[in-house]
């Protein structure tokens, strides 16, 4: 039995208005981290609020360990749902110390047990030296960890995280993701995470669900969703892609780039997703292409620190290619383009123009 189950969950902010969450069906297993991701307005935060009990669905059910929390004629109040929630603004009490913030809400326990539980979590997050400080004296990363410790101190059955890294800069986000993953694994807590940042979903989740207009466009392990997106919207959202029309003939497809190997079999007209890292550029000083590589022209170059993203023109297509940061190629240079990965077959209808066979 899943720990948490959402069945045909539907929610509108106004009667007769569009469905913000539209027939959502999801399951969360014990100890699992499931990320809801997608562009702003896709319904991921609304879904979290429905699970937490802050909003009432117009249809569908929320069930925790077989107990109906939301459904026809049923709405269990938020404090009785055994859910912990961390919002993107952390919501700490500025007049209380770190220790007092983490013990807040543990009134049912004797004070020594409250302190022991809080100190155990502060140690797990590396905050034991700051227990006497108040939130205004902490950095953004430290405040975020205090908020997470406070939520975990209540020993929730499910931890709900709504854009938990939004207030942190890029360098801190990477560290915070790694630290949170370590703590969650140690605690064995099930997590439902809402984030518009694909990198967070890919790095943290055991499974991810890409949402679009209130529905799940695709769900599965992060590696599977990234390498085999179902449609162009998912492919673009998870890091950009190259859309290449072709004609499938089994495990390959004829395209303007030549025959591309496919991740799944296809026959007839297809639209393919070819990730930028599945292409490689090397300088071309020859007058003709060699070794089966295609001739390309570098149109633009964007240095990104860890690498370079090129826009190139090749075989009548404009493509994005990711390469190493020390690549000597510059706009206007000729290059040889090589396909080094497989293409994913999309459900989108291919354009009318057919590539030559």
CA–CA distances in Å: residue 219 to residues 34, 103, 210, 226, 234: 10, 36, 6, 10, 10
pLDDT computed for residue 356 by the predictor: 40
Intra-chain end-to-end CA distance of the chain, in Å: 51
Report the CATH architecture of 233-345: Beta Barrel (2.40)
Q: What is the pLDDT of residues 175-185, one digit of tens each?
A: 888 888 888 88
Average pLDDT of 41-48?
A: 94
249 or 178: which leads in pLDDT: 249
How confident is the model over 6-10, as a mean pLDDT?
Answer: 97
pLDDT-above-90 percentage for the chain: 74
Over residues 206-245, the pLDDT tens digits come to: 999 999 999 999 999 999 999 999 999 999 999 889 999 9
How far from chain centre, in Å, is Cα 287?
Answer: 44
Beta strands in the chain (DSSP E): 4-11, 21-28, 33-37, 59-64, 67-71, 74-75, 83-86, 158-162, 190-195, 207-212, 215-220, 242-255, 258-274, 279-283, 294-303, 308-314, 317-323, 334-339, 344-345
> Other CB atoms closer than 10 Å to residue 147's CB: what's the count?
24
Distance (Å, whole) CA 211 – CA 217: 5
The predicted pLDDT at position 289 comes to 47
Q: Could you state, in order of their start, the residue ranges of all structural domains in the chain?
A: 4-232, 233-345
**DSSP classification of residue 346:** P
Long-range contacts of 165-174 (CB under 8 A, 24+ apart): 165/195, 165/197, 165/200, 166/88, 167/88, 167/89, 167/90, 167/140, 168/140, 168/141, 168/144, 169/140, 172/140, 172/141, 173/197, 173/200
User: Residue 292: what pLDDT?
Assistant: 57
pLDDT value of position 355: 39
Quick one: pLDDT at residue 286? Answer: 64
Above 90 in pLDDT, residue 174? no
Question: What's the confidence (pLDDT) of residue 351?
Answer: 72
| The predicted structure's pLDDT at residue 335 | 94
| Cα 234 from Cα 232, distance rounded (Å) | 5
Work out the angle at residue 94's Cα, subtended by the Cα atoms of residues 90 and 99, and round it to the nearest 5 degrees: 85
The fraction of the chain above a pLDDT of 70, given in percent, is: 96
Measured distance CA(240)–CA(308) in Å, rounded: 14
pLDDT of residue 354: 42
What is the rounded average pLDDT for all residues in the chain? Answer: 91
Dig out the tokens for 238 from the structure: 């998870």
Give the position of tokens 């072709």.
Answer: 246
> What pLDDT is attached to residue 182?
85
| Helix or strand holding residue 144 (H, E) | helix 140-153
Q: Token digits for 32?
A: 């699992």
Among candidates 80, 141, 135, 53, which has minimal Cα distance to 102? 135
Q: pLDDT tens, 154-163?
A: 999 999 999 8
- pLDDT band at residue 15 using 50, 70 and 90 as cut-offs: confident
Fold assignment, 4-232:
Rossmann fold (3.40.50)
**Ranges 128-132, 182-186, 259-263, 326-330: which has the least confidence:** 182-186
Q: Is the pLDDT of residue 288 over 90?
A: no
Whether 94 shows a pLDDT value over 90: the answer reads yes
């Amino acid at each position: 039995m899943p720990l948490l189950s959402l069945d045909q969950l539907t929610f509108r902010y106004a009667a007769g208005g569009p469905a913000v969450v539209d027939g959502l069906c999801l399951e969360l297993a014990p100890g699992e981290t499931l990320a809801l991701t997608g562009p702003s307005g896709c319904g991921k935060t609304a879904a979290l609020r429905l699970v937490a009990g802050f909003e009432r669905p117009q249809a569908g059910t929320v069930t925790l360990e077989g107990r109906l929390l939301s459904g026809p004629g049923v709405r269990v109040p938020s404090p009785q749902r055994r859910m912990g929630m961390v919002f993107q603004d952390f919501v700490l009490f500025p007049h209380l110390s770190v220790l007092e913030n983490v013990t807040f809400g543990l009134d049912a326990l004797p004070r020594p047990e409250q302190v022991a539980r809080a100190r155990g979590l502060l140690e797990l997050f590396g905050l034991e030296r700051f227990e006497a400080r108040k939130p205004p004296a902490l950095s953004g990363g430290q405040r975020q960890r205090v908020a997470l410790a406070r939520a975990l101190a209540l020993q929730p059955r499910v931890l709900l995280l709504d854009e938990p890294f939004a207030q942190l800069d890029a360098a801190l986000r990477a560290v915070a993701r790694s630290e949170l993953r370590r703590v969650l694994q140690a605690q064995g807590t099930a997590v439902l995470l809402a984030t518009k940042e694909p990198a967070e979903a890919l790095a943290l989740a055991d499974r991810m669900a890409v949402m679009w207009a209130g529905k799940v466009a695709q769900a599965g392990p992060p590696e599977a969703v990234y390498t085999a997106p179902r449609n162009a919207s998912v492919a673009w959202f998870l890091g950009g892609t190259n859309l290449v029309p072709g004609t499938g003939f089994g495990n390959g497809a004829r395209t303007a780039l030549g025959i591309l190997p496919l991740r799944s079999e296809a026959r007839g007209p297809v639209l393919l997703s070819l990730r930028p890292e599945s292409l490689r550029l090397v300088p071309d000083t020859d007058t003709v292409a060699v070794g089966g590589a295609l001739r390309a022209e570098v149109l633009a170059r964007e240095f990104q620190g860890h690498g370079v993203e090129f826009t190139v023109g090749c075989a009548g297509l404009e493509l994005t290619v990711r390469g190493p940061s020390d690549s000597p190629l510059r706009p206007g240079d000729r290059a040889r383009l090589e396909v080094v990965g497989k293409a994913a077959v999309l459900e989108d209808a291919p354009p009318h123009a057919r590539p030559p066979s």
